Amino acid sequence: KGGTSMRLTLVGTGYVGLVAAVCFAKLGHDVIAVDREPVIRGLLENKSKVWEPHLEPELADVMAKGRLRFETSIVKSAADADSLMIAVGTPTRPDGQTELGHIHEVLAQLMQSGTCPPLVIIKSTVPVGTCDELEASLLAAGLHTEVAFNPEFLRQGSALHDFTAPDRIVLGCKTSQAETMLRELYEGIEAPIHVCDRRSAELIKYASNAFLAMKISFANMMSDVCEGYGADIRHVMNGVGADRRIGPEFLSAGVGYGGSCFSKDLQALLTTGKLIGSKLPLLEATAKVNDQRIPRMIAKLISLWGNPLGKRLCVLGIAFKPNTNDVRDAPFLTLLAQCERHGIEVQAFDPVVAHVGAKAVKVMDSPYTAAAKADAVLIMTEWPQFAELDWPYLLHLMRQPLVLDGRNLLPDSMISQIVAVDDAVYVPVGR
């Protein structure tokens, strides 16, 4: 801390943009965050759609200190900025290509205005070669701006921690001026800084997410082998992950990965490969293993129930993981669609998701009401409080005391309480 203070304009206040804006402001920079009018209004009225632990008080703090303010005009807010950072959505289109429309819109406004800060930093995940193309289009419009790439590695639910204590910071840039500015921006954060060309940086982001997804699918694949042979996936992965070359994280088997990043980035990387005639079979297999997780859960249920028609399933956990209210690409949605097909009724509970934009589910306000007259309960996300429920009582409320632990969440002490209940069945993953 105490380094050079920069004027940073940040476009996009989704969870990445908002977290970055707050954290750069905390580092002592003057930050203006820009988004569309309704989004900014929501933020100012404290109705942010982004729910992230610790974000609200930190946001209030930097705003009170005058380090962060919100605007709706990109051109006006960028006029005096040292650099402009773009953190808008880059979804994958149905054809597998990445939608860069939001980034183009931002740059189009600057081109029309005829001015642009000397450095544009792309934080959104973009396909390899994008920064080169964006810089060329700015140049064609007479704007001599360098476009750098600085990917994010924030996990939802621990984004503030990940920003301030990252494993690494990746700076993809062309000139040493850009590198210097980017280093100044991150001054105060203790982490190794990897400086490389922009194309490599763009690929680091995709390759990291693809590798993490591959680790999860590997664990899930091995969990099927464990089930078949009476081994325990937790022991197997503990033993495997203890090898420092492999590492212990992202080896938890369960209902599969969800969220707006892994599937999207895997698809985008597959498309990147296809464009040069490479099939990238490891990525295809990773996605395929993941796609099988929910059907496998349903098959387990059906084999335990017999006829699924008219059964009621209680699901604990709606978002794609704990500590977030993000339902995008949540395994829960896949589950819901398949339950509907089989005529299974779903009652769900999530500590921070109060409603889902789907008809086929009743979202309840407590795990106990969600379990009422259920024929099975399925733990979809590993919220710690699910492990501390009064499970014997919860089983009492059910029509059939069947527990599917989709995340291997419950400790042995709780499992013994569960199986002590008459007729109760506990089904974990991979053991």
- Known catalytic residue: 314? no
Is 152 near ligand UGA (CB under 6 A)?
yes
Phi, psi of 12 (to 5 degrees): 105, 120
Helical (H) or strand (E) element with 313: strand 312-316
CB closer to ligand UGA, 145 vs 263? 263
Give CA–CA dist 72/11, Å, rounded.
9
- One-letter amino acid at 50 equals V
Is 254 near ligand UGA (CB under 6 A)?
yes
CB closer to ligand UGA, 39 vs 269? 269
Q: Are 367 and 316 in contact (CB under 8 A)?
A: yes
Stretch that binds ligand UGA, among 51-59, 60-68, 102-110, 256-264 (CB under 6 A): 256-264
Among 172, 258, 367, 406, which residue interacts with ligand UGA (rule: CB under 6 A)? 258
The footprint of ligand UGA on residues 314-333 (CB under 6 A) is 320-321
Closest distance of CB 50 from ligand UGA, Å: 12
Stretch that binds ligand UGA, among 84-92, 109-117, 250-258, 295-303 (CB under 6 A): 250-258
Phi, psi of 403 (to 5 degrees): -120, 120
Could you tell me where the DSSP H helices lie in 10-149? 15-26, 37-44, 55-64, 74-78, 101-113, 130-140
Q: Are 312 and 344 in contact (CB under 8 A)?
A: yes
Residue 184: both structure tokens together: 């100044």
Is 174 near ligand UGA (CB under 6 A)?
no
Helix (H, G, I), strand (E, B) or coil at 58: helix
Is 383 near ligand UGA (CB under 6 A)?
no
Smallest CA-to-CA distance from 10 within 63, 82, 118 is with 82
The footprint of ligand UGA on residues 211-240 (CB under 6 A) is 212, 216
Is 267 near ligand UGA (CB under 6 A)?
no
Which of the 8 DSSP states describes residue 98? B
CB closer to ligand UGA, 250 vs 368? 250
Phi, psi of 22 (to 5 degrees): -65, -45
Is 156 near ligand UGA (CB under 6 A)?
yes
Give CA–CA dist 144/146, Å, rounded.
7
Could you tell me where the DSSP H helices lie in 188-279? 198-229, 233-241, 262-274
Q: What radius of gyration do the chain's Cα atoms show?
A: 24
Among 149, 163, 257, 383, which residue interacts with ligand UGA (rule: CB under 6 A)? 257
Which of the 8 DSSP states describes residue 92? B
Stretch that binds ligand UGA, among 49-57, 151-159, 185-193, 346-354 (CB under 6 A): 151-159
Q: Are 310 and 279 in contact (CB under 8 A)?
A: no
Helical (H) or strand (E) element with 64: helix 55-64
Is 67 near ligand UGA (CB under 6 A)?
no
Closest distance of CB 208 from ligand UGA, Å: 7
Among 209, 217, 223, 267, which residue interacts with ligand UGA (rule: CB under 6 A)? 209
Among 252, 286, 334, 347, which residue interacts with ligand UGA (rule: CB under 6 A)? 252
Closest distance of CB 265 from ligand UGA, Å: 6
CB closer to ligand UGA, 52 vs 146? 52
Catalytic residues: 261
Footprint of ligand UGA on this chain (CB under 6 A)? 152-156, 209, 212, 216, 250-252, 254, 257-259, 261-262, 320-321
